[in-house]
Homo-oligomer: A and B are copies of this chain.
Amino acid sequence: MATIKDVAAKAGVSVATVSNALNGKSNVGSTARRKVLDAAQALGYRPHRAAQAMRTGRTRAIGLVLPDLTNPFFSQLAQAVENKARRLGLLACLIDSQNAADAELEGLNLLTQHGVDGIIWCPVGARLPRLLGDLGRPIVLIDRPRPGFSAVHANNAMGGRLLAQHALQQGHVRIGLLSGPRTVESAQQRRHGFVSAFPERMEIAWEVRVGFDGILPREAREAMLRRRGATLIVAGNDLIAISAMRFLHEHGIEVPADVSIVGFDDISWARIVTPRLTTIAQPLGAMGTRAVELLQERICGTTAQNPSLILDVSLIERDSVKSI
């Protein structure tokens, strides 16, 4: 690997001049600048990031810590984040905590030790961000806001309202709820948006809390079998909805003929499964890129204290809801 010294030697100037020229400083003459640029080009010189990092304290790398890459919601997010980061010349360093709070902590430590400039984080542990506001670098939460932190997330409450509205339009008044985990803020907001947009004559036939990974506990399976007159199941996300559809299918209950179902997220599989899933679309790509932009601003210090971004959602009508 060619070093800055080699470039300096080849160009016949000092290393300082090379550094200044390459970094576009104004204190270098046009002829010297030319020579430096040519020499650097000829040698294929690339600055040594570790050396730069030591001097400047900037790594040009960011962390991305997610609960579960296997969940298409997060893999789409990750793809968007990585691409945007790369376009900004930033390296994206991945942590997949597999929904384990201690692994998450370990990952955050690894990232800080490597000196990443900032972290995009979808927290799994409920109390983690509180303890770790002091990672010493900007953090942007994604999908799961917490008071006191920058975040970019979808308007989950609005999604819930859209769903309630749609349910009503299609004539569903008795609802089964497969809500997401109580510890996850976005799940709470979806649920709250949904029930708060409830008119008098609608009611919840049953409700059970399930994880976002789509694994259905016995309680959930029993509730779906027992029915209690519910004509529409509102799932906490698409993964849950799709798992539920599979379970129902195995037990001879057809969607949407016997019961309707809606999801949340609009992961790519929502339009692939049978029947295609009616759901709320989150702008996953935009969430990822905006999160990177926000983080970058925070890193450069060109922004207010804790800016947040809330992105609109929309209802995607497909085949899993029958009007009655």
Residues facing B in A58-86 (CB within 8 A) are: 59-61, 64, 68-70, 72, 75-76, 78-79, 82-83, 86
Q: Closest CB of chain B to A18's CB: distance in Å?
A: 17
Is A221's beta carbon under 8 Å from chain B?
no
Is A306's beta carbon under 8 Å from chain B?
no
Number of copies of this protein chain within its complex: 2
Residues facing B in A250-302 (CB within 8 A) are: 268-269, 272-274
CB-CB under 8 A for A61 and B93, given A50-B115, A76-B70, A115-B50: yes
Is A249's beta carbon under 8 Å from chain B?
yes
Point out the residues of chain B lying under 8 angstroms from A242, CB to CB: 272
Is A189's beta carbon under 8 Å from chain B?
no
Contact with B along A33-67 (1 / 0, CB 8 A): 00000000000001111110110000111001000
| Bound CA span A136–B48, Å | 14
Q: Which of B51, B109, B274 contacts A273 (CB 8 A)?
A: B274
Is A1's beta carbon under 8 Å from chain B?
yes
Asked if B70 contacts A83 (CB within 8 A), the reply is no
Asked if A78 contacts B94 (CB within 8 A), the reply is yes
Residue from A109, A114, A242, A268 having most chain B Cβ neighbours under 10 A: A114
Q: Which of B59, B61, B69 contacts A69 (CB 8 A)?
A: B69
Q: Closest CB of chain B to A62's CB: distance in Å?
A: 10
**Closest residue to A94 on the B side, CB-wise?**
B94
Residues of chain A at the chain B interface (Cβ within 8 Å): 1, 46-51, 53-54, 59-61, 64, 68-70, 72, 75-76, 78-79, 82-83, 86, 89, 91-96, 98, 103, 106-107, 109-115, 136, 242-243, 245-246, 249, 268-269, 272-274
Interchain residue pairs with CB less than 8 A apart (15)? A49-B113, A49-B114, A49-B115, A50-B50, A61-B93, A69-B76, A69-B82, A70-B76, A72-B75, A75-B75, A78-B96, A242-B272, A243-B272, A249-B274, A273-B273
The 10 A-B pairs at the shortest CB distance, nearest first, are namely: A50-B53, A75-B75, A94-B94, A69-B79, A50-B50, A69-B75, A50-B54, A49-B114, A82-B96, A46-B113
